[in-house]
């Protein structure tokens, strides 16, 4: 049975099926209460999670999203079931943490990770096209370094206990949000009363959805950045078919639910500043590509026992906290007295996005094996 499932999910049909199931589940999470065009967004949800822990105090984005720890646990359980849980680490861990930090800064400049870009497109947000253009440019740049031998080296085998740290932490987070722990009046956990953080699906549904998505992504190696990498480097569209399945399925659910609204301006939790949408995704795409996968893939790998991916995840969490503490995150478009005020980045966010692109290029240059 395990062999049949492995062969199925390794096939193109299995990849498309998994992508479609992820898309449907994400769209249903919106119907159940999650923010519009954000059934699941790894970057935004990690930002909300650290806000719930009090690592930033942006009140509208504080909620310990169960989808994040559940997704990691879904990957962990699937890896255990199929004999693929292997603790490993030691592949430039600090560099991966830095890449995770800048990946989050770029994602919050765009207001979404590549998974959310797919869901935004499926909901009619045409700013996602600008984001995908940024990802494509990032992949062209990254591919040129891959061809010249860019690598962060291979991770080494570690004790199984080391690979269990993040799954155990994920289980603890699910317990905390389930009991809505509050250690003192005015203390963590924090729960948004308005804004995106206040929009949430029931905990049980969020947990089940996260477990399902984590297991599916683990079995199919689902990765938006991996899909672009394979397309640009090897002209292989196998993983891309899964991404297409996600977009098509989410689009179909949105049409049925009457949630499809095409346009650029005043899209849900989005801004229409083309330049910073584009550059934000250039930064995020570079960081994801150089680290070896999109934020969802990094969570999946962490669930499989990869300590370096776990550090990337922690880097993203640090980026989510600091982005809101230091005004690095974008603000959405808004309507004020009948006039549209275009959102985007303040000066600190613009400076750090540009600096982040430079840092990623320096890392790519420093870790080449060929210098011609």
pLDDT tens, residue by residue, 141-150 = 999 999 999 9
**Spatial distance between the Cα atoms of 68 and 76, rounded to a whole number of angstroms:** 13
Of the CA atoms within 13 Å of residue 191, those in its CB half-sphere come to 13
What's the average model confidence in pLDDT over 143-169? 93
pLDDT at 372 exceeding the cut of 60: no
Structure tokens at 47: 């930002």
Mean pLDDT score of the chain: 95
What's the average model confidence in pLDDT over 196-218? 97
Tell me the pTM.
Answer: 0.96
Confidence (pLDDT) at 187: 87
CA distances from 107 to 102, 323, 369 (A): 8, 10, 29
Q: What share of the chain is helix, strand, coil (3-state, %, to 5)?
A: 65, 5, 30
Confidence (pLDDT) at 370: 61
CA distances from 278 to 110, 120, 134, 287 (A): 7, 15, 5, 14
91-139 pLDDT, tens digit each: 999 999 999 999 999 999 999 999 999 999 999 999 999 999 999 999 9
Structure tokens at 34: 């999650």
283-336 pLDDT, tens digit each: 999 999 999 999 999 999 999 999 999 999 999 999 999 999 999 999 999 998
**Spatial distance between the Cα atoms of 94 and 220, rounded to a whole number of angstroms:** 28
**Spatial distance between the Cα atoms of 168 and 303, rounded to a whole number of angstroms:** 10
Confidence (pLDDT) at 185: 82
Look up tokens 């210098």; give the residue: 371
Look up tokens 């009046």; give the residue: 185
20-62 pLDDT, tens digit each: 999 999 999 999 999 999 999 999 999 999 999 999 999 999 9
Confidence (pLDDT) at 351: 98
pLDDT at 371 exceeding the cut of 60: no
């Amino acid at each position: 049975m395990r062999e049949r499932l492995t062969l199925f999910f390794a096939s193109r049909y299995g990849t498309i099926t998994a992508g479609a199931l992820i898309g449907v589940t994400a769209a249903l999470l919106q119907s159940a209460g999650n923010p519009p065009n954000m059934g699941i967004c790894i970057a935004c949800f990690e930002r909300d999670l650290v806000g719930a822990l009090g690592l930033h105090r942006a009140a509208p984005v504080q909620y310990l999203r169960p989808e994040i720890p559940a997704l990691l646990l879904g990957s962990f359980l699937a890896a255990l079931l199929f004999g693929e849980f292997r603790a490993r680490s030691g592949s430039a861990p600090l560099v991966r943490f830095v890449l995770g930090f800048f990946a989050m800064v770029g994602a919050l400049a765009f207001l979404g990770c590549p998974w959310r870009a797919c869901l935004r497109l499926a909901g009619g947000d045409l700013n996602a096209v600008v984001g995908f253009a940024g990802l494509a440019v990032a992949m062209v740049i990254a591919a040129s370094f891959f061809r010249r031998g860019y690598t962060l080296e291979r991770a080494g085998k570690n004790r199984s206990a080391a690979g269990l740290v993040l799954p155990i932490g994920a289980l603890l987070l699910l317990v905390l949000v389930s009991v809505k722990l509050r250690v003192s009046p005015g203390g963590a956990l924090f729960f948004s009363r308005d804004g995106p953080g206040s929009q949430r699906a029931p905990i049980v549904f969020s947990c089940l959805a996260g477990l399902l998505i984590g297991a599916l992504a683990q079995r199919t190696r689902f990765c938006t950045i991996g899909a672009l990498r394979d397309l640009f480097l090897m002209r292989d569209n196998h993983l891309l078919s899964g991404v297409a399945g996600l977009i098509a399925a989410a689009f179909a659910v949105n049409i049925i639910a009457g949630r499809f609204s095409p346009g650029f301006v005043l899209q849900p939790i989005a801004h229409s500043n083309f330049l910073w949408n584009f550059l934000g995704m250039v930064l995020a795409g570079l960081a994801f590509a150089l680290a070896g996968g999109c934020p969802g893939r990094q969570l999946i790998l962490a669930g499989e026992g990869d300590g370096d991916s776990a550090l990337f995840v922690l880097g993203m969490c640090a980026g989510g906290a600091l982005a809101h503490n230091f005004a690095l995150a974008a603000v959405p478009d808004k309507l004020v007295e009948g006039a549209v005020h275009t959102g985007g980045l303040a000066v600190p966010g613009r400076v750090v996005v540009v600096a982040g692109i430079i840092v990623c290029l320096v890392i790519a240059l420093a870790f080449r094996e060929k210098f011609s």
